[in-house]
A and B are shown apart, each in its own frame.
Chain A
Amino acid sequence: GNSVTQMEGPVTLSEEAFLTINCTYTATGYPSLFWYVQYPGEGLQLLLKATKADDKGSNKGFEATYRKETTSFHLEKGSVQVSDSAVYFCALSDLDTGNQFYFGTGTSLTVIP
C-alpha cells in the first residue's frame, strides 16, 4: 500500500539556519509527491510538488527532489526565516488511488530570531 514517513518534530532553528525535513514514501504505482504547509488555524497550502523521478520542486526558497532510487522527497531551505514557522506535511498521490492523498504525520518547525 501507499504510505509516507516523515521526520518527527518539533524542529527548532535559529533564523538563517539550514533546514532539512526528511520524507520517504512507499507506493505501489507511480506517485506524485507534494509538500504542504499549515499555519496555525489554517488549512493546508501547497508548497511544492514533483510528478516524476528526478523532478525538483521549488517555491519560496524551499526545494525537494523526487528520488526514486531512495524513495525520498526531502524538503530543504538554505536560510529559514521566522515566517517559515509552521507545520510541514509530505504527501503522495498515485494513479491507483485516484485523487486520494497520503500524508505524513507532519513536522512542526519553529524559527527563532
Chain B
Amino acid sequence: KAGVTQTPRYLIKTRGQQVTLSCSPISGHRSVSWYQQTPGQGLQFLFEYFSETQRNKGNFPGRFSGRQFSNSRSEMNVSTLELGDSALYLCASSFLGKVNTEAFFGQGTRLTVV
C-alpha cells in the first residue's frame, strides 16, 4: 500500500511569490491535515479537510489556504510568501477522519523563501 505522497520535496521561492503544495493520501483515507514544522515553533496545525470540506483550521493568516478534491488529494497554497514561511510542510492522512485514528505522514515539502 502506497504511503502519503507529497510533491515537490523541495522548493525555493522568492518573497512575494505564491506556492502550491500537493498531497496524495493513502488510498481510502478521506481526512487530510497539513502542518508547518519550523525549528522555532515546532509542529503547528494548519487545517484539516474531510470529504472536500475544511473541518478545522489553525491559527494562520489568510495567506494560507487549502482544498481537497473528490479523490481526497489535497493542495495547500501560500500567497505573498514571507521569509518566515520557510519551513517543512507536512501532510497527514487518516482513515475516515475519526478521532483516535493515527495520522500517517508524508515526507514533507521543504519550502525555502529567499
Contact = CB atoms under 8 A, between A and B. Distances in A.
Interface string A25-64: 0000000101010000111111001010000000000000
Most buried by A among B42, B90, B101, B102: B102
15 contacts: A36-B105, A42-B108, A43-B6, A43-B108, A44-B90, A44-B105, A45-B105, A46-B102, A93-B103, A97-B56, A99-B31, A99-B56, A99-B97, A101-B33, A103-B42
A99 B55 contact: yes
Nearest to B106: A43
Contacts of B99: 32, 93-95, 98-99
A88 interface: no
B7 interface: no
B42 to A, nearest CB: 5
Interface of B is mostly: strand
B4 A103 contact: no
B101 to A, nearest CB: 7
Interface string A73-113: 00000000000000001000111011111111110000000
A100 B105 contact: no
B4 A101 contact: no
B100 interface: yes
Given A42-B107, A43-B107, A106-B42, A99 B102 contact: no
A11 B63 CA distance: 37
B64 interface: no
B43 interface: yes
